[in-house]
A and B are shown apart, each in its own frame.
Chain A
Amino acid sequence: MADQPVPIAGPLEVAYPTQGTFLEWLHSWVTTVDHKKIGIMYIVFALFFMMVAGAEAMLIRIQLAIPNNHAISPEMYNELFTMHGTTMVFLVGMPILFGLANYIVPLQIGARDMAFPRLNAFSFWLTAFGGFLLYYSFIGGFGLYGMGNAPDAGWFAYAPLTLRSFSPGHSIDYWAAALILSGFGTLGTAINIIATTLSMRCRGMTLMRMPLFTWLLLVVSALTLVTITPLTAAQVMLLLDRYAGAHFFDAQAGGSPLLWIHFFWVFGHPEVYVLVLPAFAVANEVIPVFSRKAIFGYPAMVAASVGIGFTSLAVWAHHMFTVGMSAAGNSFFVLSTMVVGIFTGIKMFNWLATMWGGSIRFATPMLFCIGFLFQFLIAGLTGIMLAAAPWDWQLHNSYFLIAHFHYVLVGAIVMCIFAAVYYWYPKAMGRRLSETLGKWHFWVFVIGFHMTFDTMHFVGFFGMPRSIYTYEADRGWNTLNMVISIGAFIQAIGVLIFAWNLVHSYFYGEEAGSDPWDAWTLEWATPSPPPVYNFVTEPEVRSRRPLWDIKHPQDPDWKYEP
């Protein structure tokens, strides 16, 4: 497959001529409207902030490693866990999913660019500037003593702590303003992805022939439309409270902090699915390719994804069992939450059925996806546990809850992000990532992951609540917390191996050729990296696996697909 007459000289030289000064190179990136460059910028931005938020997590773990610790100040600790959460959700999870969507979706549907290239650039820069504004608060937040002050009210920023009287200075304003900005960036990209997938498909790419990655990103974008806007609205209300003297969340004037909790989780829970569906999307691409089988139950996968999209809009109050609701409210949200388990169960079994009987190759992307399957299963099961209201009353906001959602966010989403980077890096850079380093990365990270987050379940059972600054030595949490912290550092080593792999392989990696994985979707029918125009002529497809049809003219898929 790699017998190309024209050797690819350097990773980026072919597609993006870089002759000229550094300034010209910078200018070409700043002014670009090319979906591939914007996608790369999104991903680099997200990976950068992943390092930042990871470093914040390390500081948190240093503080919690031993009892009665004072490694960092309590004020700093509050800022760290707030910024860790906010960054990971808004500046890592969302940008990386939109980066992947930007890069892959137009290629997979045989388009030359997104539907609105300029809006695409605008959305990216809005998100990026929002992120920088958020981090500027560390030096510009005007805290109590005129010093910098980052947001410190938790990533969910519950009222009334966020009101003027309890959070003087501008730290909360930075939080709200930066997220409103990046929220509009998100909205723009979501609209763009929807318009692209619905209106830019190449000939023959009917909806039921779209690759599942594209399908899921379409669902995610549609979900984003109704997910990010409530948060924006609630944050506007918060700013009105803080600047214009409104009383939305001001209990002294009759306002209700409870309303904020509702509004936040109306955003917050679908947001989890906005983050996890792209992880499913990656698994949908990687698992079939490395099992050498077509995905099992394509329509069921699509239906389950759409089902998750709709169901996720009606489950938000399972974050609020301990807030207190009527019995009917509790029952409704318990049941609706458990319904999600049905859809994810369908997906789980379809992935397993795809692997069953396949000829599995344990390349790094596949390793991460198998890790994902295992860890997501456990995350789903603890999710069902916490969905039961009585169980939740006992363990809500304990480290059990932290362990559960980190199992989802790290064990499922981050694992799939790694899989995606290993899988598509050759396409974007023209060189493969080192398999050796990749396997080191996988095993080190998985071992660290399980040390940290398996142990967190137990320390949660033993009563350790979230967001505490430190704890007494006689609680029986000491050893467990030390294990958690050591595991966190092992994970950090894994991530550093990954970062080194990214840089090293960029210069010295094995040349990839157009189709290093012997895959089936249209992005592998372009040179690596693809030229600006992606496809010289508009491709046409007849089945879900256009490249399979070409590679196996004797038995193409279109003979069998309904």
Chain B
Amino acid sequence: MSTVPLFTDESWQMPSKGKVAMLSLIIGECGIFGIFLAAFIFYLGHNLSGPTPSILDVPVFNTVCLLSSSLTIWLAERAIEHGEIRKFGALWGLTILLGLEFITGTALEWYTLIYRDGLTISTNLFGTTFYSLVGLHATHVVVGLVGLTTIMIFTLLGKVRQEHAHRVQVFALYWHFVDAVWVVVFTVVYLVGR
């Protein structure tokens, strides 16, 4: 640092690379979801045979659970930022439970659709687009749950401390995305589509 021009502002700050990367990933994921949503909307009402979207039940309870998990994870982020690890653990666990409830609800919904209504991915266009779109979202929920659980295990082992707040927040961004995209999927599939 000899001849370099120094700056009057000593605070040369760059955005967090973790957040930038996660936001980039989310933008990319939007591309994937966009294409599946486009296919779903394009094929609305194009069924040649078989069940139509009217057989769907609106999963209100599931949706409430998933959306409130965004709230609990946000509270958990704040807790770890202030160093309240026990509170963080509790809220994090609650987030996992809410996520698990959602994925169980989806599984039950699919069970009903397959065995009561005889709707599978190869039945008709509605089956194709419905299972692929909702399945894409469910895959993201499962990936999110794996991540959440991993962090939960480390919390229970006492390895998570206040200085990890940033990493936790980066991961939480992903979970917020999974919740936010459900609002879109829910609207398109259960409100518009039905």
Chain B residues positioned under 8 Å from A255 (CB to CB): 43, 125, 128
Q: B171 at the A/B interface (Cβ < 8 Å)?
A: no
Chain B residues positioned under 8 Å from A233 (CB to CB): 31-32, 34-36
* A221–B42 alpha-carbon span in the complex (Å): 29
* A337–B31 alpha-carbon span in the complex (Å): 21
Instruction: For A240, give its contact among B5, B15, B25, B121 (CB under 8 Å).
Output: B121
In the assembled complex, the CB of A553 is this many whole angstroms from the nearest CB of chain B, namely 10
Q: B157 at the A/B interface (Cβ < 8 Å)?
A: no
* A201–B20 alpha-carbon span in the complex (Å): 14
* A50–B1 alpha-carbon span in the complex (Å): 44
A254, B17: Cβ atoms closer than 8 Å: no
Asked if A247 meets B125 with Cβ closer than 8 Å, knowing A230-B31, A237-B132, the reply is yes
A226, B39: Cβ atoms closer than 8 Å: no
A198, B122: Cβ atoms closer than 8 Å: no
The stretch among A294-302, A397-405, A503-511, A537-545 that forms the contact with chain B is: A537-545
The stretch among B6-14, B70-78, B175-183 that forms the contact with chain A is: B6-14
* A121–B21 alpha-carbon span in the complex (Å): 16
Beta-carbon nearest neighbor of A254 in chain B: B48
Beta-carbon nearest neighbor of A194 in chain B: B24
The stretch among A69-77, A143-151, A185-193 that forms the contact with chain B is: A185-193
* A192–B30 alpha-carbon span in the complex (Å): 18
Chain A residues positioned under 8 Å from B34 (CB to CB): 230, 233
Q: B27 at the A/B interface (Cβ < 8 Å)?
A: yes
Query: In the complex, which range does the number of interface residues on chain B fall in?
Result: 35 or more
Instruction: For B14, give its contact among A201, A226, A236 (CB under 8 Å).
Output: A201
Instruction: For B28, give its contact among A191, A198, A247, A259 (CB under 8 Å).
Output: A191
B14, A199: Cβ atoms closer than 8 Å: yes
In the assembled complex, the CB of B19 is this many whole angstroms from the nearest CB of chain A, namely 9
Q: A443 at the A/B interface (Cβ < 8 Å)?
A: no
A200, B24: Cβ atoms closer than 8 Å: no
Chain A residues positioned under 8 Å from B127 (CB to CB): 246
Beta-carbon nearest neighbor of A233 in chain B: B35
In the assembled complex, the CB of A7 is this many whole angstroms from the nearest CB of chain B, namely 25
Within 8 A of B (CB), among A218-245: 221-222, 225-230, 232-234, 236-237, 240, 244-245
B17, A200: Cβ atoms closer than 8 Å: yes
Chain B residues positioned under 8 Å from A226 (CB to CB): 27-28, 30-31
Instruction: For B21, give its contact among A191, A203, A222, A542 (CB under 8 Å).
Output: A191
In the assembled complex, the CB of A319 is this many whole angstroms from the nearest CB of chain B, namely 17
B20, A537: Cβ atoms closer than 8 Å: no
Q: B109 at the A/B interface (Cβ < 8 Å)?
A: no
Instruction: For B31, give its contact among A198, A221, A225, A254 (CB under 8 Å).
Output: A225
Q: B84 at the A/B interface (Cβ < 8 Å)?
A: no
Interface of A is mostly: helix
Chain A residues positioned under 8 Å from B18 (CB to CB): 195
In the assembled complex, the CB of A17 is this many whole angstroms from the nearest CB of chain B, namely 28
Asked if A115 meets B21 with Cβ closer than 8 Å, knowing A204-B12, A254-B48, the reply is yes
Instruction: For B12, give its contact among A203, A221, A232, A537 (CB under 8 Å).
Output: A203
Within 8 A of A (CB), among B37-78: 38-39, 42-43, 46-48
B14, A247: Cβ atoms closer than 8 Å: no
- Interface digits, A244-264 against B, CB 8 Å rule (1 contact, 0 not)? 111110000111100100010
* A229–B16 alpha-carbon span in the complex (Å): 24
Q: B106 at the A/B interface (Cβ < 8 Å)?
A: no
* A227–B167 alpha-carbon span in the complex (Å): 28
Chain B residues positioned under 8 Å from A203 (CB to CB): 7, 12
Q: B124 at the A/B interface (Cβ < 8 Å)?
A: yes
A199, B15: Cβ atoms closer than 8 Å: yes
Beta-carbon nearest neighbor of B3 in chain A: A550
A199, B20: Cβ atoms closer than 8 Å: yes
Interface of B is mostly: helix
Q: B191 at the A/B interface (Cβ < 8 Å)?
A: no
Chain B residues positioned under 8 Å from A245 (CB to CB): 121-122
Asked if A225 meets B28 with Cβ closer than 8 Å, knowing A233-B36, A540-B7, the reply is yes
Instruction: For B39, give its contact among A187, A228, A248 (CB under 8 Å).
Output: A248
* A227–B32 alpha-carbon span in the complex (Å): 10
A259, B39: Cβ atoms closer than 8 Å: yes
Q: B29 at the A/B interface (Cβ < 8 Å)?
A: yes
Chain B residues positioned under 8 Å from A201 (CB to CB): 14
Of A115, A228, A232, A254, the most chain B CB neighbours within 10 A belong to A254
Instruction: For A540, give its contact among B5, B24, B29, B38 (CB under 8 Å).
Output: B5
Q: A484 at the A/B interface (Cβ < 8 Å)?
A: no
Q: A266 at the A/B interface (Cβ < 8 Å)?
A: yes
- Interface digits, B72-107 against A, CB 8 Å rule (1 contact, 0 not)? 000000000000000000000000000000000000
In the assembled complex, the CB of B25 is this many whole angstroms from the nearest CB of chain A, namely 6
B124, A247: Cβ atoms closer than 8 Å: yes
* A248–B46 alpha-carbon span in the complex (Å): 11
B28, A187: Cβ atoms closer than 8 Å: yes
Asked if A116 meets B35 with Cβ closer than 8 Å, knowing A247-B124, A540-B4, the reply is no
In the assembled complex, the CB of A224 is this many whole angstroms from the nearest CB of chain B, namely 8
Of B5, B32, B35, B38, the most chain A CB neighbours within 10 A belong to B35
A191, B25: Cβ atoms closer than 8 Å: yes
Asked if A198 meets B5 with Cβ closer than 8 Å, knowing A253-B125, A255-B125, the reply is no
* A190–B28 alpha-carbon span in the complex (Å): 10
A537, B1: Cβ atoms closer than 8 Å: yes
In the assembled complex, the CB of B74 is this many whole angstroms from the nearest CB of chain A, namely 23
A200, B128: Cβ atoms closer than 8 Å: no
* A232–B6 alpha-carbon span in the complex (Å): 46
B35, A234: Cβ atoms closer than 8 Å: yes
B27, A225: Cβ atoms closer than 8 Å: yes
Chain A residues positioned under 8 Å from B7 (CB to CB): 203-204, 540
Asked if A195 meets B21 with Cβ closer than 8 Å, knowing A204-B12, A234-B35, A248-B39, the reply is yes
* Chain A to chain B contacts (Cβ below 8 Å), 15 pairs: A116-B17, A191-B24, A194-B24, A200-B14, A228-B31, A236-B132, A237-B39, A240-B121, A244-B122, A246-B127, A248-B129, A253-B125, A255-B128, A266-B35, A539-B4
* Residues in B lying within 8 Å of A, measured CB to CB: 1, 4-7, 12, 14-18, 20-21, 24-25, 27-32, 34-36, 38-39, 42-43, 46-48, 121-122, 124-125, 127-129, 132
* Residues in A lying within 8 Å of B, measured CB to CB: 115-116, 187, 190-192, 194-196, 198-201, 203-204, 221-222, 225-230, 232-234, 236-237, 240, 244-248, 253-256, 259, 263, 266, 537, 539-540, 542, 558
Enumerate the 6 nearest inter-chain pairs by beta-carbon distance, A residue then B residue, closest first.
Answer: A229-B31, A245-B122, A233-B35, A199-B17, A246-B128, A540-B4
Could you list 19 further interchain pairs (A-B, Cβ under 8 angstroms) beyond the known A115-B21, A248-B39? Answer: A187-B25, A191-B21, A195-B17, A198-B20, A200-B17, A222-B27, A226-B27, A226-B30, A228-B31, A237-B132, A246-B127, A247-B124, A255-B125, A259-B39, A259-B42, A263-B38, A266-B35, A539-B4, A540-B4
